[in-house]
Amino acid sequence: MKLIISVVVGLWAPFLFGQSAIHWDTISEEMNPTPICENQAKKVFDIFLNSPAFDWTDRDNNCEDRANAVTLILDKWNVSNGKIWIFSGKSASYGDKRGMLDGWSYHVAACIFVGNEDDYDTLIIDPVSSPYKLLSIHDWVEITTVNPTNIYFFTGNDKYQQNRVELYPTWKNSKDYFNATIEGLTRYNSYSAWTRLKTRKYLKRNLAKVTKEFNKLYETDVDRIEKIPCD
């Protein structure tokens, strides 16, 4: 009996002792990145922060589209990347389901890898949560959570959306949602059907503008990050 109790306590210790979120490694995907240096990472962050293609004030919706757009561009630039997801305990089939996030049932952001092949940090591109700098995993988790018993994990950038995570989730694949991604950058998903109908001319103009800005980044010289000195 003592052995069983000790095992149970070990499994649930992160919840029992108040950690905001734990890494759910059961569904987390392993990364094998080619890291970039700190100077290059800062430049990457500044580019996305200041691009008109991204509305980083749109806090309540479209995080999956911003994260997906960032990873599409990073792929084109040959910068290793992935996605980090955090789910509230209430929306995940895991834990005691008390956990809450700061305004979301789940949140997702792009991540990059900074350092060298032997030792690197995973840093998060999420100006919605931090408009000043890249975030460490710990800081991103703390900013996005309200109370303990939430979960976070990593995936490749092919994962687009999943509203509820269980042990064997069925993901929407990002390659099937390119148009939805671009629409999401315009806040399109935030509007009701009636608003979309009433303002379709504005939305069409806005979509054209955002698409142009997205393509401007996407078609940029793929070596632009590699040319930034690391000294």
Give pTM, 2 decimals.
Answer: 0.87
pLDDT of residue 168: 83
Going through the chain in order, the beta strands assigned E by DSSP cover: 21-23, 81-87, 106-115, 120-125, 135-136, 150-155, 159-161, 172-173
pLDDT tens, residue by residue, 29-45: 998 999 999 999 999 99
Could you give the C-alpha distances from 220 to 20, 83, 185, 215, in angstroms and in order? 39, 22, 19, 8
CB distance 172 to 183 below 8 Å? no
Residue spans of the chain under pLDDT 70: 1-18, 94-96, 188-191, 195-199, 222
pLDDT of residue 190: 67
pLDDT of residue 191: 67
Q: What are phi and psi of 200, to 5 degrees?
A: -60, -35
pLDDT of residue 28: 93
Tokens of 1: 């009996």
pLDDT of residue 176: 92
pLDDT of residue 2: 34
pLDDT of residue 94: 67
- Domains and their CATH numbers in the chain: 18-218 (3.10.620.30)
- Helix, coil or strand: residue 103: coil
Task: Name residue 86's beta-bridge partners.
Answer: 107, 152
pLDDT of residue 8: 31
HEC readout, 73-100: HHHHCCCCEEEEEEECHHHECCCCCCCC
- Residue that the structure tokens 């834990």 belong to: 95
pLDDT tens, residue by residue, 75-118: 999 999 999 999 998 888 766 678 899 989 899 999 999 998 78
Could you give the C-alpha distances from 195 to 57, 78, 95, 203, in angstroms and in order? 20, 39, 39, 10
The total of other beta-carbon atoms located within 10 Å of residue 119's CB is 7
Tokens of 152: 């976070």
pLDDT of residue 118: 83
Query: How far apart, in whole angstroms, are the C-alpha atoms of residue 63 and residue 56?
Result: 9
Cβ neighbourhood burial of 133 (10 Å; 0-12, 13-18, 19+): middle
